[in-house]
Amino acid sequence: MSLLEQTIGSIKKTLNQEAFNAAKDRLLNQAKPPGSLGIMEEISARLAAIKGTTDVHLTNKRIVTCAGDHGVTQEGVSLFPAEVTPQMVLNFAAQGASVNIIGRHAGAVVKAADLGVNYDFDPALPIFHKKIRHGTANFTKEPAMTREEAILSIEAGIEIVAELDDETPVDLLGTGDMGIGNTTPSSAIIAAFSGIPVEKLTGRGTGVDDAGLANKIAAIQKGLDLHQPDPSDPIDILSKVGGLEIGGLAGLVLGAAARGIPVICDGLISTAGALIACELAPAAKQYLFASHKSVEIGHKYMHDRLGLDPLIDLKFRLGEGTGAAVCMELLDLSTRILADIKTFEEMGITNAK
């Protein structure tokens, strides 16, 4: 049995119902109007079900930013050259990127992972060295990668979770991405799954103009028409029009779910990875939280397919794991709402209702 098969088989089909019921009961009896803290209460109850306790502590928070390059950038789908990807990975390692700063504020340790950057990093660089190949192929002309490489990229993400969790048990995982051109394969993935017209799913990415957007839509449509990815086969979609870092992001979700770790997925690209994961293993969705609503128009359709509501809308369009980092503080707060707000009984009030 492969690592991917073992991991999918290890994901529990249901969460701890006893802890969930205890959380709902406590929330109902706290000294406030029932449900008055809205989504925060829902988050706290789900975390209780994941962790098996009403007193959850999210002490060890980690964010993994998966990086990869994309051959489809040859079609002019991004304003930035592919050479920016390795430069940004070096910035992540130097703790100087946006996600490093926001993650530090949230109390999270951020580490990048090279799944398929078209650059050879120094082996001593403090990142996860998981390169499958030096970037994907141009999917307007050939499949982005082989099926075997797609599986390897997913398994690399699973391995990263195992390495982190075996070192110090992870309480909360955030996913992030880096890869010039990667909104293009992400839009292709949701188009392949949903059958929704490409033009309804494709945004401007780094900020291309109208002509650039039309070119991007045409490139995605060409890849889909050429390869005909099977919507019932997530690995077929990933291999034909996806990205190596997207496979790694899928593996992070699966690996975390198998170990009972809640996951916050970030923007469009991270959610594309989460979508691959949840199509492979629907039970993984129980462990998944959507951080934010991106300005990328395809993001909404991903959330709709996953049945997830994003927690915030700050008009983000960066990726990296920045939205996940912001929402880590919300999940942290939700645990204290559940555990620390007193019930009427704890206050000694017996006739409050």
Query: Six-digit token pair at 337?
Result: 């709402």
According to DSSP, the residues that pair with 292 across neighbouring strands are 312
Type and span of the H or E element at 65: strand 61-68
Are the CB atoms for 200 and 300 separated by under 8 Å?
no
Are the CB atoms for 235 and 335 separated by under 8 Å?
no
- Between strands 263-265 and 108-116, the pairing is unpaired
DSSP E strands, 143-281: 172-178, 263-265
CA–CA distance, 307 with 310 (Å, rounded to integer) = 10
Q: Is 11 helix (H, G, I), strand (E, B) or coil?
A: coil
Q: Is 201 helix (H, G, I), strand (E, B) or coil?
A: coil
Q: Which of 199, 320, 329, 345 is catalytic?
A: 320
**AA identity, residue 13:** K
Query: Six-digit token pair at 30?
Result: 């706290």
Active site residue 41: no
Are the CB atoms for 274 and 250 separated by under 8 Å?
yes
Q: Kindly provide the b/e burial profile for residues 102-119, where b requires at least 16 CB atoms within 10 angstroms of the residue's own CB.
A: bbeebebebbbbbbbbbb
Which of 176, 129, 177, 132 is CA-nearest to residue 151?
132
Query: Six-digit token pair at 298?
Result: 């395809």
Residues with a catalytic annotation lie at: 320
